[in-house]
């Protein structure tokens, strides 16, 4: 019961293939109470998928690009919980044009940066009133140290996301709040399939010393659950790689 008594906010549950879904499932199995977020036309989908969890959680509306949603998040969450011990950020979006690096218009790039990077800070600020006793913020990234094929401006957004994590760690540490990321290898989620030529990542396991299963989100989810627990009390600003060891290999 790694999360016994913990209360968590989990974003990004869309399908049961989502890493966030597995984080919510494992968190409940480890004793946590979970609240999910969703918005717009995906809201009912999230409510339906939530019924596949061990305990059906509440779902609150949250569009991280909507300032009103952010400003009222804590108040609306208080209808379901009196505080938060942890927040999972599993949010990312880029318009199709952002996957063409040289020709992407600023409007598409700006959307990618706001939703996929700036939102980490936005979500943290929105949840802060419920985290007066400290806690853990965990985000999901894809290693932004290199330029990936096809990832283009989403890769730039992930680099900004990783920098945002470090600044959050700096500014929230005095309040006992840790901020860390899990750099997961490619997982064949609904979001991943929207990346042009995602199938190029199919050979990931050939270079990963431990191998890699594109259909298995549980390893990354377990890392998130560990970071949301009290077992990393002095770790913040960190990026934990869960990619089969791919990031450490050369040619």
- Is residue 37 marked as binding? no
Both structure tokens of 121: 């800070």
Query: Does residue 2 belong to any structural domain of this protein?
Result: no
Continuous segment of H or E residues that includes residue 239: strand 239-242
Structure-block tokens of residue 229: 């627990």
27 in a labelled binding site: no
Residues 6+ apart with CB under 8 A from 15: 21, 45, 49, 189, 190
- Structural domain count of the chain: 1
| Average pLDDT score over residue span 32-38 | 98
Residue 192, marked binder:
no
- Give the mean pLDDT of 163-168: 98
Residues with Cβ within 8 Å of residue 90, at least 6 apart in sequence: 10, 11, 12, 13, 18, 19, 20, 23, 139, 140
Q: Residue 199 pLDDT more than 90?
A: no
Kindly report the CATH number assigned to the domain that includes residue 82.
3.40.50.720
SS3 7: strand
Q: What is the pLDDT of residues 212-236, one digit of tens each?
A: 999 999 999 999 999 999 999 999 9
Q: What angle do CA 100, 104, 108 make, to 5 degrees?
A: 115
Domain span at 225: 7-248
What pLDDT does residue 229 have? Answer: 98
168 found inside a domain: yes
What sign has the CA pseudo-torsion 25, 27, 33, 34? Answer: negative
Both structure tokens of 23: 């984080």
The response to whether 187 counts as a known ligand-binding position is yes
Terminal-residue alpha carbon distance, the chain: 41
CA 9, distance to chain mean position in Å, is 11
> Annotated binding residue at 56?
no
The answer to whether 46 touches 36, Cβ cutoff 8 Å, is yes
Residue 137 annotated as binding site: no
Please tell me the predicted confidence (pLDDT) of residue 33. 98
User: Is residue 205 domain-resident?
Assistant: yes
Whether 20 and 11 have beta carbons less than 8 Å apart is answered as yes
Residues counted in the chain: 251
Q: Is residue 84 part of a domain?
A: yes
Please indicate if the annotation marks 239 as binding a ligand.
Answer: no
pLDDT of residue 188: 83
195 is in an annotated binding site: no
12 annotated ligand-binding residue: yes
In a domain, 1, yes or no: no
- 153 lies in some domain: yes
Mean pLDDT over residues 79-107, rounded?
97
Q: What's the number of CA atoms in the CB half-sphere (13 Å) around residue 244? A: 18
Give per-residue pLDDT as tens, 10-21.
999 999 999 999
- 18 in a known ligand binding site: yes
3-state secondary structure of 136: strand
Q: Please tell me the pTM assigned to this model.
A: 0.95
**pLDDT of the residue at 192:** 67
DSSP letters, 74-113, are: HHHHTTT-S--SEEEE------GGGGSTTT--HHHHHHHH
63 marked as binding residue = yes
């Amino acid at each position: 019961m790694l999360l016994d008594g913990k209360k968590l906010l989990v974003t990004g549950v869309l399908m049961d293939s989502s890493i966030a879904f597995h984080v919510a499932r494992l968190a409940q199995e480890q004793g946590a109470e979970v609240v999910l977020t969703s918005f717009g036309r995906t809201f009912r989908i999230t409510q339906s998928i939530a019924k596949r969890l061990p305990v059906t959680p509440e779902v609150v509306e949250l569009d991280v690009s909507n300032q009103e949603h952010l400003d009222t998040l804590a108040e609306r969450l208080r209808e379901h919980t009196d505080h938060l011990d942890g927040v999972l950020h599993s949010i990312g979006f880029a318009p199709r044009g952002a996957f063409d690096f040289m020709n992407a218009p600023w409007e598409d790039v700006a959307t990618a940066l706001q939703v996929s990077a700036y939102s980490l800070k936005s979500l943290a600020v929105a949840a802060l009133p419920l985290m007066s006793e400290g806690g853990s913020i965990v985000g999901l990234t894809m290693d932004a140290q290199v330029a990936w094929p096809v990832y283009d401006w989403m890769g730039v957004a992930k680099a900004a996301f990783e920098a945002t994590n470090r600044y959050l760690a700096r500014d929230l540490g005095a309040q006992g709040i840790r901020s860390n990321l899990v750099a997961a290898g490619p997982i064949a989620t609904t979001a991943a399939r929207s990346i042009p030529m995602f199938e190029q990542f199919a050979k990931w396991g050939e270079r990963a010393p431990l191998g890699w299963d594109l259909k298995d989100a549980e390893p990354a989810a377990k890392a998130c659950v560990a970071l949301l627990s009290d077992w990393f009390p002095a770790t913040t600003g960190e990026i934990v790689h869960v990619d089969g060891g791919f990031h450490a290999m050369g040619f």
